[in-house]
Amino acid sequence: MENTPVKITDSWESLREYTAARIALGRVGDSIPLTASLEFKLAHAHARDAVYSELDRTALLMGLTDFGLPLLEIQSMAVSRSQYLQRPDLGRLPSASSVSLLQEHAAEFDICLILADGLSATAINNNIIPLLKCLLPFLRGMNYRLTPLCMASQARVALSDHVAGTLGAKLSLMLIGERPGLSAADSIGAYLTYSPKPGLTDESRNCVSNIRPEGLGFEAAANKILYLIREAFHRKLSGVELKDNDQMSLQQKAP
């Protein structure tokens, strides 16, 4: 009678409760256990779904009205999800109609707040409202002049340079769905750029990533974003020259 394969456990198994990463899966013979294999395929399916997801405009518009800010719906030059994925350059540029709309609302602002689908509209659909509930009271408490909320579709991060620059804002803050991984398909990334204008590259930005309930929590993310905004306005810069020393300063103050 043939022996039934026995699952061999991993010495790191006790660490699994501390991370969503795929560690200590064990093995059966020379393969991973069936449950782990099926979980991997499910996570891959969730990631693919997130990439092709769309903004739930009805639910978002209902939730965003509570914040009392005007809302502008804009889009990039990518006319479809397929084109967006194949032509990243088009996702960085606003459509002609969006430029006209932004020009109509141009004024002197401190912060341009942009909500964008990016590579996971699921992240925005699931998490943007609770994040804004933590973040907007801070921004209003600092008396920053905010642009209308901009909800951008088929958007890449660099679209924020055109949007904020056209509206006349000193700083752009784009909250965008991050590229989904096999342990997280609903993470928001916050990209902050001081003195935004077309032509900037990634070293000009600061990023707070993995914002979601199972990652960096909404209140903690809001605090970190606010710290970077304060520092950006104080030092009049962002990007590689603006370091996140918030935790370091806390450690230095500790007894």
DSSP label of 194 = E
Cβ-contact 157, 172 below 8 angstroms:
no
Q: Does some domain include residue 168? A: yes
φ, ψ for residue 32 (rounded to 5)? -80, 160
Q: Is the sign of the CA dihedral 6, 12, 16, 20 positive or negative?
A: negative
In a domain, 232, yes or no: yes
Q: Is residue 230 part of a domain?
A: yes
> Domain for residue 76, yes or no?
yes
Mean pLDDT by 10 residues, the chain (255 residues): 60 73 76 78 74 88 93 96 95 97 97 96 96 94 94 97 98 94 85 96 95 94 96 96 68 38
pLDDT attached to residue 9: 64
Give the pTM: 0.84
- Best CA proximity match to 136, nearest among 58, 242, 218, 235: 218
Count of structural domains within the chain? 1
What are the structure tokens assigned to 34, written together? 């069936």
CA-nearest of 81, 37, 18, 46 to 185 is: 46
pLDDT score of 17: 72
Residue 41, CA atoms < 13 Å, CB-side half-sphere: 7
Task: Identify the CATH number of the domain in which residue 148 sits.
Answer: 3.40.50.11240
Pair of tokens at residue 33: 């256990």
pLDDT of residue 251: 44
Do the Cβ atoms of 122 and 53 come closer than 8 Å? yes
Measure the CA–CA gap between 11 and 3, rounded to whole angstroms.
24
| b/e map 78-99, b = 16+ CB within 10 Å | beebeebeebeebbbbbbeebe
Q: 121-141 and 57-64 are packed helices; what angle lies between their axes, rounded to 10 degrees? A: 10
Strand-pair partners of 175: 115, 190
| Cβ pair 198, 154 in contact under 8 A | no
Angle at CA 250, nearest 5°, toward 137 and 127?
35
26 inside domain: no
Segments forming the whole domain that contains residue 74: 57-244
Residue 207 covered by a domain = yes
Q: Is residue 48 part of a domain?
A: no
pLDDT for 3 equals 61
Q: Is residue 228 part of a domain?
A: yes
What's the confidence (pLDDT) of residue 77?
98
Diameter of the chain measured on Cα atoms: 81
